[in-house]
Amino acid sequence: MKRNTRRIIATGSIAAVAAGSMLFLSTAQAAKSVTPVKQARATVLTAVPGKVLSIKKKTRSGFTAWAITVKRSDGSVVVGYVDVKSGIAFDWTVKAAPGEPTIDLDGSDSVLAPAEPPEPVPTPTPTATATPTPSPSPTTAAAAAPAAAPAAAPVARPSADTERRQSGSASPTASPTSSARVPGGNRGDGRRGPATPAPTSASPTSAS
């Protein structure tokens, strides 16, 4: 009787120890299976359903985070950043998107539009502008032109008769009448003017 009782107690103790060890092992395995990486993965997939392409540990905005890349069914690729310590998804980046994917974050819909590169500003090309040269007016051209030198006045040379008359009038013995110009030409004695015939006296014979 006592032997059966001891046997039952021993069997129950062994069963209790086995059950406790199994419970402990299952709890440890369960705790070991839920890692921060899996928690971060679950957080990202809850907000962005799709296929996980990669999980990397990176630094984002000064925080150590899990960078989880997810490809959505619409073809867009989204990267979610989950803080390693707190397990909170604090940043999202759209790498490729055919459209504007809608991501449900904590039950609120938000649209993450892909970042578009700024349009290049065209650089103005300097064009050479021909400056018209104003044509000078006639008055301006006349004023700008140097004054022409006055033409030399022609010098009249005395004729041979004038030189001869001047040489004859220069002698002190010449009479005033000898230098006077008398029309009629030369008389033959070197003076000009008609020859005056000498007066003839009437002879007594002719008067009678």
Per-residue DSSP letters for 46-114?
A: HHS-SEEEEEEEEEETTEEEEEEEEE-TTS-EEEEEEETTT--EEEEEEEE-SS--EEEETTEEEE-PP
Structural domain count, the chain: 2
| Confidence at residue 204, expressed as pLDDT on a 0 to 100 scale | 47
Asked if residue 53 belongs to a domain, the reply is yes
11 and 50: one domain? no
Asked if residue 161 belongs to a domain, the reply is no
Do the beta carbons of residue 194 and residue 181 sit within 8 Å? no
Asked if residue 155 belongs to a domain, the reply is no
Asked if residue 199 belongs to a domain, the reply is no
| Confidence at residue 182, expressed as pLDDT on a 0 to 100 scale | 47
Asked if residue 205 belongs to a domain, the reply is no
| CATH assignment of the domain containing 67 | 3.10.450.40
| Confidence at residue 67, expressed as pLDDT on a 0 to 100 scale | 92
| Confidence at residue 171, expressed as pLDDT on a 0 to 100 scale | 46
Asked if residue 206 belongs to a domain, the reply is no
15 and 71: one domain? no
pTM comes to 0.35
| Structural domain boundaries enclosing 23 | 1-33
Asked if residue 196 belongs to a domain, the reply is no
Give pLDDT < 50 ranges for the chain: 28, 107-115, 170-180, 182, 184, 188, 202-208
Asked if residue 9 belongs to a domain, the reply is yes
